[in-house]
């Protein structure tokens, strides 16, 4: 998630799928250390895309992927073969997704994805509250409340985010987003609702980090994002059941979030498809990233 809009993606997925293993957990220092190391590797991978002469979008390195995106497909896949990745007392969930939004420009896309007060409208029904805290030309701070609507548990996340934006050139931008505070709200919207201290609770989400690249070309804007989240470990007895659920829901949630982003942007863009463009397919996703 995430440019900021990545926030709802893995959070909603993990809140939902983690309901099968809800027990108390505390975030351990060693888990944080390994998370920090992982995030450094993610950021280093992004820097390679920014080097002179490098490919800005990963999609350009994959045969036929640009054509799929221009036809309207949403592309989502885990980053690596072993996702979620095991760390000490935790799991790291790392997913990448891409979309092409036709008939628009960066000048129209960026104001929409930075309109945090509207996230509760864009990303229904998971985001139930959202607001900007501070904004500037190069970075923003905002907050969201994300609700788990599982029948087994009503857990919400009250989170603050810091998001920086960097202009690479006239046609390319990227953003990096991190959670600065996450607190669980147990028994949300019930008589026993309570806000738990940071780093305590079910541990369905401990930390989130994301990188989003935007490129304007081909009569529209490509959005390519990597969403990374840290959660508690899954008990061994439940892992065979929960792991596939986490992967399935993470994939579909990221695809849905990208489609919701497109739907939020399109009203601000041209309504006609440029001559020569292939007709766009209905919403769908394909595992095509390496």
- 144-176 residue pLDDT tens: 998 876 545 678 899 999 999 999 999 999 999
Distance CA 68, CA 150 (A): 33
pLDDT bucket at 213, cuts 50 / 70 / 90: very high
Q: 162, exposed or middle or buried, with CB in 10 Å at 0-12, 13-18, 19+?
A: middle
The whole-angstrom distance between residue 8's C-alpha and the CA centroid of its chain comes to 6
In DSSP terms, 130 is beta-bridged to 144
Which two tokens mark 144?
A: 């969201």
pLDDT bucket at 251, cuts 50 / 70 / 90: confident
The CATH homologous superfamily of the domain defined by 4-286 = START domain (3.30.530.20)
- Phi and psi dihedrals of 7, rounded to 5? -45, -50
Distance CA 245, CA 271 (A): 37
Give the DSSP per-residue string, 208-268. EEEEEEEEEETTEEEEEEEEEEEEEPPPHHHHHHHHHHHHHHHHHHHHHHHHHHHHHHGGG
pLDDT of residue 167: 95
The CA-atom distances, in angstroms, between 159 and each of 18, 21, 242 are 18, 22, 24
Domain ranges of the chain: 4-286
pLDDT, averaged across the chain: 83
Higher-pLDDT residue of 276, 97: 97
Which two tokens mark 138?
A: 């190069």
pLDDT bucket at 1, cuts 50 / 70 / 90: very low
pLDDT of residue 35: 96
- Beta strands, E only, the chain: 25-26, 74-78, 85-87, 90-102, 127-135, 139-147, 156-169, 172-186, 194-195, 200-201, 207-217, 220-232, 285-286
- 183-196 residue pLDDT tens: 999 888 888 899 99
pTM summary value: 0.85
pLDDT of residue 40: 97
Number of other CB atoms surrounding residue 29 within 10 Å: 9
Distance CA 120, CA 118 (A): 5
């Amino acid at each position: 998630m995430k440019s900021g809009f990545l926030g709802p993606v893995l959070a909603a997925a993990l809140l939902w799928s983690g309901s099968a293993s809800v027990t108390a957990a505390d975030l351990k220092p060693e888990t944080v250390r390994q998370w920090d190391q992982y995030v450094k590797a993610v950021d280093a991978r992004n820097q390679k895309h920014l080097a002179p002469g490098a490919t800005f979008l990963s999609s350009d390195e994959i045969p036929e992927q640009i054509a799929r995106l221009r036809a309207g497909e949403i592309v989502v896949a885990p980053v690596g073969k072993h996702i979620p990745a095991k760390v000490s007392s935790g799991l790291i969930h790392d997913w990448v997704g891409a979309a092409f939004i036709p008939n628009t420009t960066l000048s129209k896309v960026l104001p929409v994805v930075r309109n945090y007060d509207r996230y509760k409208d864009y990303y229904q029904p998971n985001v139930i509250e959202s607001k900007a805290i501070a904004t500037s030309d190069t970075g923003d701070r905002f907050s969201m409340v994300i609700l788990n609507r599982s029948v087994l548990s009503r857990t919400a996340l009250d989170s603050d985010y810091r998001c920086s934006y960097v202009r690479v050139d006239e046609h390319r931008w990227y953003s990096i987003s991190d959670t600065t505070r996450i607190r669980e709200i147990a028994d949300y919207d019930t008589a026993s609702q309570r806000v738990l201290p940071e780093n305590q609770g079910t541990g369905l989400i401990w930390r989130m980090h994301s990188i989003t690249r935007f490129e304007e070309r081909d009569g529209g804007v490509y959005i390519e994002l990597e969403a990374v989240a840290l959660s508690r470990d899954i008990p061994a007895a439940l892992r065979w059941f929960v792991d596939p659920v986490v992967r399935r829901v993470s994939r579909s949630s990221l695809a849905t979030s990208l489609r919701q982003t497109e739907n939020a942007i399109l009203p601000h863009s041209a309504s006609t498809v440029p001559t020569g463009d292939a007709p766009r397919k209905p919403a769908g996703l394909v595992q095509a990233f390496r």
